[in-house]
Amino acid sequence: MAHPLRNGDPARIGPYRLHSRLGGGGMGQVFLGRSRGGRWVAVKVVRPELADDPEFRRRFAAEVEAARRVGGFYTAPVVDADTEADPPWLAAAYIPGPSLQAAVTDHGPLPLESVVVLGTGLAEGLTAVHASGLVHRDLKPGNVILAADGPRLIDFGIARALDTTSHTHTATVLGTAAYMSPEQARAEKVGPPSDVFSLGCVLTFAATGRSPFGEGPLHAVVYRVVHAEPDLSDLPAPLVAPITACLAKDPVERPSPQDLLADLTALAAPEPSHPERRWLPEPVTEIITHRATLLLPRNDTGPATGAANLPTKESRHRPAADQEKQEQPGRVSLVIGNLGPTGLELAVDDAALGTVPAYETRTFPLTPGVHSLLVQSTRHRGVVRRIEAADGATVRMAYDLPRKRGAAPQAVQAVTFTPSWTSRMELMFKGTAVSAIILSAASLLLLGGLMPFMTLVASLVLGILTTLLNMVSSRRLTLNNSGIVFPFSSEANKPVRWDSVGQVSVIEEKRGSVLVLWPRGADHWLEGANSPDGTIRYQIDRLGFVSSEKRRRRFHAALRWFAADAYFEQL
């Protein structure tokens, strides 16, 4: 949970502006920061006494370098670091969700289905960590973040750097004794099986609310980890076998993360038909939604000083329930898409709401009710739109900027791309040249070379007429909320519907940029498919639809808006 910055806290670490405190640990303090591009990160700042230890700095730099190579969906990657700074720091992707420790402590153990999803995600995350040559060494409920789309593993590789300093070793053990492997408790060499043992402890905590080796004095917990059998008495029956295997005293007898992933996947419920399935209990999901809402773009460019984040005198004396009600954001989501080359400025009820950069989409929270939305841009006059939405509704609007400088932004219902004039002229010259060659050859063969001048003129006229007819024909590529209409559609304005498309991408090939639509299922066939695999492939740059950088960016923005979740942008 985020807390206000305190007096004396830094306003900025590296390129990141700090907004609040997230917590602390054996390494130091963790802050919520934001990059210049608007990305949220968790910035971990090393404690001064550790920063003064040359051996810690050396190992910390090595571990951070290794951690930056870790991939995988179920890890929160290290995105930036400065191990030479004073103090050293690292930045990891921020996940707007509670830790497993906080979720279970506040709301009780997770149901079986949630624990299975948690286990498969963490097993996959450990696979990525181990593939990078790292051992986590500090897998515990506090280092597992619960996100809307699955768990995330954080702080991989940092424990080994902490273990190099004698004055922090005890503190590290105190924080993780109930989740250590026997070999780690005996200060022996640890490898990937140690993380599997810790994962078994974490899953037991998630399902029962306690460690399998109980609580109490440090030496008692460590003794039970090394010598006693785990207490799995209240563990759900389907989890007993896989977790028992993880908690084997001998590392050789433990399953690999891949084997555990297979065992847990067999326990998972079939995929639901509803695309927006929730894997966590409702109270935990609400926490995630609330935190994600607080991170939506806002017009908060003021200085991030500790004093500015302190509660006011009035708020300190206001009852806690009233404060929570006052700070609770609205539950109407306003989604604005900008398909133009200039940023849009938004205002609601005469109050600045935020900006939407060129060719981007932004979501803003609003309170339910009726509002007046003002959309404007530099050198364009504003347009006002009335918004009325009930609690929980989502209002989606896309805007484009007309060419005329003084005009207002226009609401977008569909976007049509036609070949550029450069491409049309190129097509005309090519058509004329081909016609001239064909008619000249025919003249030589059939007429013995007679009337070459008249033949050339006729070929030029025929080429120009053919090309003009092709240019004025309905060669348009249109995207709308229903689907996409190709120039080769057999029926006018009949789209390939988005609900039949599983994925849309633009792929760069030697011949140029190709728009590819894949069917929703392997046994499905897209209407209008022109490839043996049932896909639609359409050359978009050679035909002039994205002949410039401006057109290309607008085309991708239209795909992001209309294709929504089906669009996958190639990096």
What sign for the dihedral angle of Cα 379, 384, 390, 396?
negative
313 is in an annotated binding site: no
Strand-strand pairing, 410-411 and 394-400: antiparallel
Query: Do 107 and 283 contact (CB within 8 A), yes or no?
Result: yes
Instruction: State how far the Cα of 17 lies from the Cα of 141, in Å rounded to an integer.
Output: 28
SS3 content of the chain, % helix, strand, coil (to 5): 40, 25, 40
Nearest Cα residue to 545 out of 460, 464, 486: 486
Instruction: State how far the Cα of 165 lies from the Cα of 495, in Å rounded to an integer.
Output: 65
Nearest Cα residue to 345 out of 308, 375, 383: 375
3-state SS of 534-564 is: CCEEEECCCCCCCCCHHHHHHHHHHHHHHCH
Q: Give Cα separations from 278 to 435, 446, 526, 567 (angstroms).
A: 62, 75, 30, 22
Q: Quick check: is 138 catalytic? A: yes
Find the angle CA(131)-CA(198)-CA(228) to the nearest 5 degrees: 140
Token pair of 395, please?
């209002």
Q: Give Cα separations from 522 to 222, 269, 272, 525 (angstroms).
A: 52, 22, 18, 8
List the catalytic residue out of 9, 80, 138, 155.
Answer: 138
Query: Do 409 and 383 contact (CB within 8 A), yes or no?
Result: yes
Active site residues: 138
* Binding positions: 44
* Binding positions for ATP: 44
